[in-house]
């Protein structure tokens, strides 16, 4: 796996790209509601949650809205952190959105009970470093949940998912193109992911597959 100084593979998400992404993903609130349920099933009220790479912040905001958690978000994109702060203010919830790199987190050891990271892990230039940082900032017994596109996704699974997003013609065609041809090349298969986790100190790693993605449960 290669590393680079910018922290992400390929094109960074700043400016208009980040705003386009925020608008489009904001049209699928069900996706973030489902992710929030997955987190709630794994965390006790009162937990301190870190979302790594929250982008526009929809999941962090949904979690903060429950009133059950203290939520922090860390993203390398200044535009996304700005957007996420605006959206949290509009929603009237408190989330500590910060700029930073998943593989060099600005947090003390053992600061969080739970780490979640969705649709972003494949973008990291230093995936093992990011896993090691997740492990470092978790308290003993803490858990992490990583959800991302699987490398071996089929064209049919992509089409079905994008058709449900309710996007207009051009955005729909572009999103299908990116999810079918460009992003899978950066993503991991189940066994590749297990190989990355094996290089860290996580005690357990459980990877489940759906047609589109991998859900990875890790325990410190």
Ligand X SMILES: C[S@@+](CC[C@H](N)C(=O)[O-])C[C@H]1O[C@@H](n2cnc3c(N)ncnc32)[C@H](O)[C@@H]1O
Residues in contact with ligand X by the rule CB under 6 A? 7-8, 13, 25, 53-55, 75-77, 80, 101-103, 118-120, 123-124
Phi, psi dihedral angles at 58 (to 5 degrees): -60, -40
178: left (phi over 0), alpha (psi -120 to 50) or beta: alpha
Q: What is the nearest approach in angstroms of ligand X to the Cβ of residue 55?
A: 3
By beta-carbon distance, which residue lies closest to ligand X?
Answer: 55
Q: What is the nearest approach in angstroms of ligand X to the Cβ of residue 101?
A: 5
Query: CA-CA distance, 118 to 128, in Å (whole number)?
Result: 16
Q: Which is nearer to ligand X, 164 or 203 (CB)?
A: 164
Query: CA-CA distance, 8 to 6, in Å (whole number)?
Result: 6
Q: Which is nearer to ligand X, 113 or 148 (CB)?
A: 148
Alpha helices in 8-68 (DSSP H): 15-25, 29-42, 58-65
Angle at the Cα of 77 from the Cα atoms of 88 and 54, rounded to 5 degrees = 45
Q: Which is nearer to ligand X, 149 or 197 (CB)?
A: 149
Q: Which is nearer to ligand X, 56 or 142 (CB)?
A: 56
Q: What is the nearest approach in angstroms of ligand X to the Cβ of residue 217?
A: 17
């Amino acid at each position: 796996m290669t590393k680079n100084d910018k922290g992400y593979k390929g094109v960074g998400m700043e400016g208009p790209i980040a705003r386009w992404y925020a608008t489009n993903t904001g049209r699928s609130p069900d996706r973030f509601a489902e992710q929030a349920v997955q987190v709630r099933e794994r965390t006790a009220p009162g937990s301190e949650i870190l979302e790594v790479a929250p982008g526009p912040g929809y999941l962090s905001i949904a979690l903060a809205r429950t009133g059950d958690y203290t939520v922090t978000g860390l993203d390398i994109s200044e535009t996304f952190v700005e957007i996420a702060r605006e959206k949290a203010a509009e929603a009237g919830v408190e989330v500590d959105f910060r700029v930073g790199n998943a593989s060099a987190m600005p947090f003390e050891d053992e600061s969080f009970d739970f780490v979640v990271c969705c649709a972003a892990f494949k973008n990291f230039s230093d995936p093992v470093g990011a896993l090691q940082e997740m492990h470092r900032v978790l308290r003993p017994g803490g858990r992490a949940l990583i959800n991302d596109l699987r490398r071996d996704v089929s064209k049919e699974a992509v089409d079905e998912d994008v058709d449900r997003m309710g996007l207009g013609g051009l955005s729909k065609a572009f999103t299908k193109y990116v999810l079918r041809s460009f992003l899978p090349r950066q993503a991991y298969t189940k066994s590749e992911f297990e190989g990355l986790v094996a290089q860290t100190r996580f005690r357990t790693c459980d990877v489940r597959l759906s047609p589109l993605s991998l859900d990875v449960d890790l325990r410190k």
